[in-house]
Structure 1
Amino acid sequence: MRVITQHELGGPEVLTLVNAPSPRPLPTEVLVRVKAIGLNPLEARLRSGEFPMMGEPPFVLGWDISGVVDEAPQTWRFRPGDEVFGMPLFPRVASGYAEVVSAPALHLVRKPPSLSHVDAAALPIVGLTAWQGLVDLAGVGTGDRVLIHGGGGGVGHVAIQIAKAFGAYVITTASGSKREFVEGVGADEVIDYTTVDFTEVVHDVDVVLDTIGGDTVRRSLGVLRPGGHLVTATAEDDPELIAEFEAAGMRFSGVAVDPDPVALRGLVDLVERGELRVHVQETFPFERVADAHRLLDGGHLTGKLVLTV
């Protein structure tokens, strides 16, 4: 099979297409012939060495996959020919930038016919991050006022739709160029962060979902109602922030996304009800992974990038 690996840390040019033996599935795993691979900003940080979660190279990036089961020798969950998708093993190495991936069957769900392989591959990390933050941690429900930072990004645009599906009133920050996009996925109010300070116009919010980090987290304290809850996807364990929020009578949580077939099936239900669609800004053939990573490095994406295999 072909696999995209790297032998040193650096820019997109370090990503190399090579031939490698196909993996062998362990008990309870399935072998998936990959059709599409979702790309995430985290992978650019890992590739460059900015975030050393995977240690020293060589290693193979990637978690978001969609494809067809090739082998399922010791699991009852799937059979060869089943179309599946998911985010196997995260945050451990899954080697998803490959034509064939061996993955725990429990970390995958069936891909519905209504979801293309490209859209399915784009969904797991961003969808699970948004679901676990808004539904599992914050318990967002009907009538809640929710502020989502970075509504035009991968997690943000999915989070808007999840919050709306659960009955919330959604405010989001986004650049002016993305106003039409975030309104199109359901945002009730859009704050152009390039011209407006959100702390001056947003008040009495029940839940803040942060996808930006930096001082956005601390500044969001002032927009929460008493007892409000901030969930961040960028600062999972910050004792100083936790103490500051608790002293103000607020809740602070970091969402460290993990594989979750129950939440994945919840996302599929929203897709099939027409309440969720993942936006793919651009697709690239497997061989052009370096070009895709150059876009990742540039930031300010609208939705997701996907490799097709």
Structure 2
Amino acid sequence: MTFQDRGMSTSMRVVELVRFGAADTAFVTRELPRPVPGPGQVLVRVLATSVNPLDLQTRRGDYRDQVALPAVIGNDVSGVVVETGPGADDFRPDDEVWYLAPVFTGQGAYAEFHVVDQALVARKPAGLSHVEAAGLVVVGVTAWEALVERAGVRAGERVLVHGGAGGVGSAAIQVARALGAEVVTTARAGDHEFVTGLGADTAIDFSVGDPVPQVRALGGVDVVLDTVGGDTLTRSPEVLADRGRVVSIVDTSEPQNLLAAWGVNATYHFLFASPGRAKLDALGLLVEQGRLRPVIGAVLPLTDIAQAHALLEGGSAREGRRRPRGKIAIAVHPLDEHPL
């Protein structure tokens, strides 16, 4: 049975990026035709999504060569399958799913419906709400790919997570801990209780001095996860053990000096997270085991995308409010509404 058979509208509400620049002038809410799933695809009613730094960069125009305006952006999806295309036999209508929508390819997640290849989709962990699931997709996949697939973190190693109170940082602390690693993280003093509650063994206040001597005093680390940019790539060899690994998710243009990396036989990885069911299934297992939980700092409706962008950028600082910890989630449909 399709949505047409159920008497549902063939249109959908989306928030489109119509111009690059400031958040308050970049977006327009409008009605577009609802997409139709093709071979091997599923149509998902998006119940929740979230805002990521990639969205801010896209809106500002950092990727204008990859994004043709107007565009529906956004990559976190948690929702319900409503229709399947030919050969899409892995899912049925009413299945609750979560996934990372492909970046710069097709329509994004700031919409009521989304079409995606079924190979990228996983079943949502039963213990998570759709808002929680949407807040964990991109950051969870990024943390998993960084620590497991790139750095190959092993039990007993020491991992330094820069920016532990942020979206990726909060997920990475938990993933590293689940892998059996000792976790050191940088965070403001006011966030130390929060990050140690996630599983960090040591929290270092980066705002009151150079964290490098404090990390060195611990005996250094085997892995550095860079979520903050700046001169992190240059300075990581100062804290790395021999054959240490650095994974950066920051596309910084700041010049870096990596000569010291030769002295410790360091390996550098640069990560742009990619979709995939296997990673989501692995994260779902950690959720079910109680070793991974989402961190949602705020929830806003779809029509407040511009406000969500401003909040993530710290645009409300002039009003005395700090950027929320963890993720800013977007409730696409009313949360008390039945999915179908």
Q: TM-score under structure 1 normalisation?
A: 0.95
Equivalent AA in structure 1 for residue 31 of structure 2: N
Equivalent AA in structure 1 for residue 35 of structure 2: P
**Corresponding residue for residue 205 of structure 2:** 192
Q: 1:10 to 1:237 in 2, by over 3 A?
A: closer
**Corresponding residue for residue 152 of structure 1:** 165
Q: SS at the partner of 1:20?
A: strand
Equivalent AA in structure 1 for residue 60 of structure 2: S
* Counterpart Cα distance in 2 of 1:281 and 1:158: 13
Q: Does structure 1 retain, via aligned residues, the 8 Å contact 2:244–2:264? A: no
1:15 to 14, 24, 27: 27
* Counterpart Cα distance in 2 of 1:218 and 1:233: 15
Pairing of 1:176-215 with structure 2 (within 5 A): 176-203=189-216, 204-215=220-231
**Corresponding residue for residue 303 of structure 1:** 326
1:271 to 287, 299, 315: 287
Q: Does structure 1 retain, via aligned residues, the 8 Å contact 2:229–2:252? A: no
Please, which runs of 5 or more residues in structure 1 have no aligned partner? Answer: none
Q: 1:87 to 1:243 in 2, by over 3 A?
A: farther
Q: 1:185 to 1:46 in 2, by over 3 A?
A: same
Pairing of 1:1-309 with structure 2 (within 5 A): 1-13=12-24, 14-52=26-64, 54-74=66-86, 75-203=88-216, 204-235=220-251, 245-246=261-262, 248-298=264-314, 300-309=323-332
Q: SS at the partner of 1:194?
A: helix
After superposing the two structures, state which structure 1 stretch, 166-175 or 42-51, moved more.
42-51
Q: 1:235 to 1:9 in 2, by over 3 A?
A: closer
Q: Does structure 2 retain, via aligned residues, the 8 Å contact 1:63–1:94? A: no
Q: Between the two proteins, what is the percent identity of the paired residues?
A: 41
After TM superposition, give the deviation of residue 286 of structure 1 in Å: 1.3
After TM superposition, give the deviation of residue 285 of structure 1 in Å: 1.1
* Counterpart Cα distance in 2 of 1:282 and 1:87: 20
1:269-309 per-position Cα deviation (integer Å, ceiling 9, x unaligned) = 00000000010000001111121111022174410001102
Q: Does structure 2 retain, via aligned residues, the 8 Å contact 1:88–1:104? A: no
1:226-280 per-position Cα deviation (integer Å, ceiling 9, x unaligned) = 1111111114999976676346411111112100211110000000000000100
After TM superposition, give the deviation of residue 53 of structure 1 in Å: 5.5
Which has the larger Rg? 2
After TM superposition, give the deviation of residue 70 of structure 1 in Å: 0.7
Please, which runs of 5 or more residues in structure 2 have no aligned partner? Answer: 1-11, 316-322, 333-340
Q: Give RMSD over aligned pairs.
A: 1.9
1:134-185 per-position Cα deviation (integer Å, ceiling 9, x unaligned) = 0111111211010000000000000000000010000000111211110110
Q: 4+ residue stretches of structure 1 with deviation over 2 A?
A: 50-56, 90-94, 235-248
1:99-142 per-position Cα deviation (integer Å, ceiling 9, x unaligned) = 00011111110012211100111111111111001011111121
Q: Does structure 1 retain, via aligned residues, the 8 Å contact 2:231–2:254? A: no
